[in-house]
């Protein structure tokens, strides 16, 4: 083989991350409220952009040719509606950026999204209580529907961490049994900081006492009589708690060391409530009306007359180049915003179609759903769907939920034909345990066999986790409880 130098012609393909594409990807991951901040910065840096008149209704595209501007209107407004055909959604190849699909974090390769503030950071410097709890609740239970309800309860907590909405009202709003809401509240009350999710001061202090392993009968009676503590009736309290002076002093010091308002240690106490990006109205019979929230949609004005005025004053090549660059930036931003709205609407519409049971009958009808399922149904990349569902909220008659809430895990069936919700499996475990007799308690291995016979393919450790998650004890505990119940 010769070693002489030579020229070779090779054809390769590569993806170039243009600034316009980076901007489009960044906008796709932001909520409508975050878009407002982004547009505010764009208005400051680009003299050809103006804030639109909220009363205007006519959507107008950006100019097609910079050399032939249309001078007739003084300003043309682009109203980005949620209604209509999403004929040009934005779809990004997943190889374009290095990104974590689950968390929505952006990698250094794209450098997009890092500048977009989190939706809950508007009210304070640090994370809000809701944000802090959200990072924990997913790992607190393997029951996707229980976590769903727990997230809803988190959104109902006040700034101090208390829940003032009745559980029965929550159960009616979500169309779930009251017992399920009680289970979800128990999950919330296991989160940090200890004491959140309490409905009264006594409950808040009791949760902290249990965490400190100090909730004995004496401390329980002290907490149950906080009004006597406030009135200083210590002699009476000592008699009620059946303790001496030294023990009572220790109990009182312990009680005063607890935080009566655990949620206030987090930021965002004055933050605005979550504003939905997608509105869902109607019903299954008349059809679902899915629209973007026009109250928070960004509106931009491209001032053509000002462009004409500036262009007439640009005598040198450098000035004309600067003006052309600003016009190109304005057009690219308008196009990216338009694509963003259409993409969000398309993804949200598919989510509603896939989870119609939830919108008709409540959280009990949530079915297993993955990002890939939605992506394949609408012909997009899975990473695009992940970006769209990050920091976006949907409101319907059942409340306001993050789009990612509608993606629930499932259990593979033994016949290989699809999956069933984890909630369905837990219901089967509960039914099997409820039907067992004190003399024939089912072990976890036996539960695995019976579940597989019903079409659920689970490992023993999964069955054990699900059993514990719904409050069912081990076989030894259940045998003891049922024998005691039989004797009683």
Mean pLDDT of 106-134: 47
Length of the chain measured in residues: 488
**Which strands form 76-79's sheet, in the order they lie side by side?**
49-51, 299-302, 76-79
Lowest mean pLDDT among 59-63, 113-117, 137-141, 266-270: 113-117
Residue 84 pLDDT class (50, 70, 90 cuts):
very low
- Residue 87: the pLDDT is 42
Does residue 281 sit in helix, strand or coil?
Answer: strand
Residue 69 pLDDT class (50, 70, 90 cuts):
very low
Q: Between these two residues, 58 and 447, which has the higher pLDDT value?
A: 447
Q: Where are the beta strands (DSSP E) in 76-125?
A: 76-79
Nearest to 478 by CA among 449, 439, 426, 448: 439
Would the pLDDT of 203 be above 60? yes
463 touches 448 (CB < 8 A): yes
Kindly state the tokens that stand for 144: 């996707």
Return the ∠ at Cα 226 (arms to 224 and 227), rounded to 5°. 120
Give percent above pLDDT 90 in the chain. Answer: 17
Would the pLDDT of 197 be above 60? yes
Mean pLDDT of 79-85: 33
Does residue 251 sit in helix, strand or coil?
Answer: helix
- Cα distance between residue 400 and residue 379, in whole Å: 27
State phi, psi for 146 to the nearest 5 degrees: -65, -40
Kindly state the tokens that stand for 167: 């559980």
Would the pLDDT of 269 be above 60? no
Return the ∠ at Cα 180 (arms to 453 and 196), rounded to 5°. 130
Return the ∠ at Cα 194 (arms to 208 and 268), rounded to 5°. 140
Lowest mean pLDDT among 105-114, 157-166, 394-403: 105-114
Mean pLDDT of 153-161: 91
Would the pLDDT of 54 be above 60? no
137 touches 191 (CB < 8 A): yes
* b/e code 142-159 from CB counts within 10 Å (16+ = b): bbbbbbbbbbbbbbbbeb
Nearest to 79 by CA among 290, 294, 270: 294
Q: Long-range contacts of range 140-143, CB-CB < 8 Å, 24 or more positions apart?
A: 140/187, 140/190, 140/191, 141/187, 141/469, 142/409, 142/422, 142/462, 142/465, 142/466, 142/469, 143/422, 143/423, 143/426, 143/466, 143/469, 143/470
- Cα distance between residue 278 and residue 156, in whole Å: 20
Kindly state the tokens that stand for 398: 């059942």
Residue 55 pLDDT class (50, 70, 90 cuts):
very low
Number of Cβ within 10 Å of residue 135's Cβ equals 12
Residue 417 pLDDT class (50, 70, 90 cuts):
low
- Cα distance between residue 337 and residue 28, in whole Å: 8
Lowest mean pLDDT among 246-260, 387-401, 473-487: 473-487
Mean residue pLDDT of the chain comes to 76
- Cα distance between residue 45 and residue 206, in whole Å: 55
382 touches 95 (CB < 8 A): no
Among 66-75, 122-131, 176-185, the range with the most confident prediction by mean pLDDT is 176-185
pTM here is 0.51
Correct CATH for 412-487 of 1.10.10.60, 1.10.490.130, 3.40.50.620, 2.60.34.10: 1.10.10.60
State phi, psi for 71 to the nearest 5 degrees: -85, -5
How would you classify residue 362: left for phi > 0, otherwise alpha for psi between -120 and 50, otherwise beta?
Answer: left
- Cα distance between residue 345 and residue 155, in whole Å: 24
């Amino acid at each position: 083989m010769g070693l002489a130098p030579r020229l070779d012609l090779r054809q390769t393909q590569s993806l170039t991350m243009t600034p316009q594409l980076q901007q489009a990807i960044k906008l796709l991951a932001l909520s409508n409220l975050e878009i407002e901040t982004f547009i505010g910065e764009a208005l400051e840096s680009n003299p050809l952009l103006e804030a639109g008149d909220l009363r205007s209704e006519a959507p107008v595209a950006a100019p097609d040719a910079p050399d032939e501007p249309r001078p007739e209107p003084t300003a043309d407004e682009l109203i980005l509606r949620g209604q209509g055909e999403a004929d040009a959604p934005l779809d990004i190849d997943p190889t374009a950026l290095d990104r974590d699909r689950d968390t929505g974090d952006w990698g250094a390769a794209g450098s997009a999204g890092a500048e977009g503030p989190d939706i809950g950071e508007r009210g304070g410097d640090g994370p809000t209580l809701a944000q802090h709890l959200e990072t924990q609740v997913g790992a607190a239970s393997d029951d996707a529907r229980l976590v769903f309800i727990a997230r809803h309860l988190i959104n109902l907590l006040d700034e101090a961490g208390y829940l003032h909405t009745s559980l029965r009202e929550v159960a009616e709003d979500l169309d779930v049994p009251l017992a399920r809401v009680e289970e979800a509240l128990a999950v919330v009350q296991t989160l940090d900081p200890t004491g959140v999710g309490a409905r009264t001061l006594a409950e808040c202090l009791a949760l902290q006492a249990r965490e400190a392993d100090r909730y004995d009968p004496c401390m329980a009676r002290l907490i149950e009589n906080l009004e006597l503590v406030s009135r200083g009736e210590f002699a009476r309290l000592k008699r009620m708690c059946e303790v001496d002076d030294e023990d009572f002093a220790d109990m009182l010091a312990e009680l005063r060391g607890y935080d009566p308002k655990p949620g206030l240690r987090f930021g965002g106490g004055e933050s605005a409530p979550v504003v939905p990006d997608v509105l869902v109205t109607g019903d299954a019979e008349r059809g679902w009306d899915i629209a973007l929230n026009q109250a928070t949609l960004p509106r931009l004005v491209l001032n053509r007359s000002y462009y004409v005025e500036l262009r007439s004053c640009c005598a040198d090549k450098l000035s004309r180049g600067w003006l052309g660059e600003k016009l190109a930036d304005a057009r690219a931003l308008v196009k990216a915003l338009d694509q963003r709205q259409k993409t969000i609407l398309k993804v949200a519409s598919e989510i509603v179609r896939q989870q119609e049971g939830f919108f008709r009958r409540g959280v009990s009808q949530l079915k297993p759903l993955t990002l890939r399922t939605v992506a394949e149904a609408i012909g997009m990349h899975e990473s695009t769907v992940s970006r769209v569902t990050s920091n976006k909220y949907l409101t319907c008659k059942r409340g306001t939920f993050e789009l990612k809430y509608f993606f629930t895990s499932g259990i593979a069936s033994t016949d290989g034909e699809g999956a069933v919700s984890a909630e369905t499996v837990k219901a089967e475990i509960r039914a099997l345990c409820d039907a067992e007799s004190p003399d024939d308690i089912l072990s976890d291995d036996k539960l695995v066999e019976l579940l597989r016979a019903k079409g659920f393919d689970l490992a023993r450790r999964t069955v054990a986790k699900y059993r514990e998650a719904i409050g069912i004890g081990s076989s030894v505990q259940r045998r003891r409880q049922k024998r005691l119940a039989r004797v009683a």
